[in-house]
């Protein structure tokens, strides 16, 4: 799993930061990628990466502000043009279906694949063998959602050599042991699954929030997360203004991470007011409250290291 930030700005594009979009790469886990928000020119940002639009399996939209959705019609059209034929699932607030349907219709964009729409209500919005996605309503000026993506525990690994030493023959008995069943050998001895398998390993928890004021729902969504992606539209001093505009300060992002016991905080939705040299100040403010964190930049990438159970920034990944 990797997190690739495509747009880390707030409100409008600037030369430094595009409007919101974030790729959750799940290529090793499920051969696909998921996209969170799709500001204008997200498909242009993708042109500068190795991402193939047809690999996008799901798109999650946090809220219906333009800086989070105006890239959607173009990306959907290009996914089609580039030979995408797998169904696409779009999760977003009420209105997302009308928006997509109408913009495609009026522009006569005919897709080669079906879209399945899921208009969000709080709770579990997706679950399969590998992962679960839950959503909660945050506190913005319009309905804005956050997502908690939990990878299920990894299947226990079979210690093959140990099983063979105990006399288990190659074949179906090994598979049964791997799947947690104890098995009887032809000489009548029993081999216990737990004796020849490693304990199952926990997977990752990633929390990705839409624009929001500081709120309890954010803390709950981020509980024990390995990584929390949280907006930080304002620096620590602007708490009143942040509240008025429905946004958060760096302090509030850090406080959410602290209260949630989240490990790594990545702050995005950074106002164009802040220049690259201001990032030091923002990070200093963050560290007063929460130690481990980053200010996201466009094309910055983070990867999950399974055996360390930690997210790590990829070197040289950003502009």
Do residues 312 and 305 make contact, with C-beta atoms less than 8 angstroms apart?
yes
CA distance 205 to 187: 45
Q: Which of 1, 59, 73, 210 binds a second copy (CB under 8 A)?
A: 73
Among residues 64 and 160, whose Cβ is nearest to Zn ion? 64
Which partner in a second copy, Zn ion, none is near 272 (CB below 5 to 8 A by kind)?
A: none
Is 290 annotated as belonging to a binding site?
no
Do residues 1 and 22 make contact, with C-beta atoms less than 8 angstroms apart?
no
- Residue 182 designated active-site: no
Binding of a second copy at residue 216 (CB under 8 A)?
Answer: no
Is 44 annotated as belonging to a binding site?
no
Which partner in a second copy, Zn ion, none is near 211 (CB below 5 to 8 A by kind)?
A: Zn ion
Q: Which of 29, 30, 44, 115 binds a second copy (CB under 8 A)?
A: 44
Contacts of residue 280, defined as CB under 8 A and 6 or more positions apart, other chains included, come to: none
Q: Which of 4, 6, 8, 18 binds a second copy (CB under 8 A)?
A: 18
Beta bridge partners of residue 316, listed in sequence order: none
Is 63 annotated as belonging to a binding site?
yes
CA distance 278 to 16: 13
Please count the CA atoms within 13 angstroms of the CA of 11 that sit on its side-chain side: 10
Binding of a second copy at residue 65 (CB under 8 A)?
Answer: yes
Binding of a second copy at residue 281 (CB under 8 A)?
Answer: no
Beta bridge partners of residue 134, listed in sequence order: 124, 148
Contacts of residue 45, defined as CB under 8 A and 6 or more positions apart, other chains included, come to: 6, 7, 18, 21, 298, 299
Please count the CA atoms within 13 angstroms of the CA of 291 that sit on its side-chain side: 2
Q: Among the options 37, 67, 235, 298, which is catalytic?
A: 67
What does the per-residue mask of binding to a second copy show for 145-184, with x meaning CB under 8 A? ----------------------------------------
The alpha-helical segments, DSSP class H, found in 115-260 are 160-165, 172-178, 193-196, 216-221, 239-245, 250-260
Residue 85 burial (C-beta neighbours within 10 Å; 0-12, 13-18, 19+) = exposed
Binding site for Zn ion (CB under 5 A): 65, 67, 211
CA distance 39 to 14: 12
Please count the CA atoms within 13 angstroms of the CA of 314 that sit on its side-chain side: 16
Q: Which of 107, 112, 237, 261 binds a second copy (CB under 8 A)?
A: 107
Binding of a second copy at residue 6 (CB under 8 A)?
Answer: no
Number of residues that bind a second copy (CB under 8 A): 35
Is 269 annotated as belonging to a binding site?
yes
Stretch that binds a second copy, among 66-74, 117-125, 167-175, 244-252 (CB under 8 A): 66-74
Among residues 107 and 261, whose Cβ is nearest to a second copy? 107
Binding site membership for Zn(2+): which residues?
63, 65, 67-68, 140, 211, 269
Contacting positions for a second copy (CB under 8 A): 11-15, 18-19, 40-41, 43-44, 47-48, 64-66, 69-71, 73-74, 77-78, 81, 95, 98-99, 102-103, 106-109, 141-142
Q: Which residues are catalytic?
A: 67
């Amino acid at each position: 799993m990797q997190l690739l930030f495509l747009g880390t700005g707030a409100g409008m594009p600037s030369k430094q930061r595009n409007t919101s979009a974030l790729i959750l790469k799940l290529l090793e886990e499920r051969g696909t990628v998921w996209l969170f928000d799709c500001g204008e020119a997200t498909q242009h940002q993708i042109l500068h990466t190795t991402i193939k639009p047809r690999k996008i399996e799901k798109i999650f939209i946090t809220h219906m502000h333009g800086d989070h959705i105006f890239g959607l019609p173009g990306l959907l059209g290009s996914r089609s043009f580039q030979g995408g034929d797998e169904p696409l699932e779009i999760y977003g607030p009420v209105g997302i279906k009308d928006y997509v349907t109408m913009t495609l219709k009026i522009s006569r964009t005919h897709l080669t694949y079906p879209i399945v729409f899921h208009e969000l209500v709080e709770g579990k919005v997706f679950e399969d063998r590998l992962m679960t996605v839950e959503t909660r309503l945050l506190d913005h000026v319009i309905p804005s959602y956050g997502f908690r993506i939990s990878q299920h525990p990894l299947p226990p690994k079979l210690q093959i050599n140990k099983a063979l030493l105990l006399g288990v023959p190659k074949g179906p008995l090994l598979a049964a042991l791997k799947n947690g069943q104890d098995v009887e050998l032809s000489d009548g001895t029993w081999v216990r699954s737990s004796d020849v398998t490693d304990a199952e390993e926990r997977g990752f928890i990633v929390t990705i929030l839409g624009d929001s004021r500081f709120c309890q729902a954010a803390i709950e969504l981020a509980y024990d997360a390995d990584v929390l992606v949280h907006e930080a539209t304002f620096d620590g001093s602007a708490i009143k203004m942040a509240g008025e505009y429905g946004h958060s300060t760096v302090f509030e992002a850090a406080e959410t991470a602290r209260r949630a016991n989240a490990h790594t905080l990545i702050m995005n939705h950074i106002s164009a007011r802040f220049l690259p040299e201001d990032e030091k100040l923002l990070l200093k403010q963050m560290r007063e409250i929460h130690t481990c964190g980053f200010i996201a930049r466009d094309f910055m990438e983070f990867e999950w290291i399974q055996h360390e159970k930690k997210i790590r920034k990829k070197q040289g990944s950003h502009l």
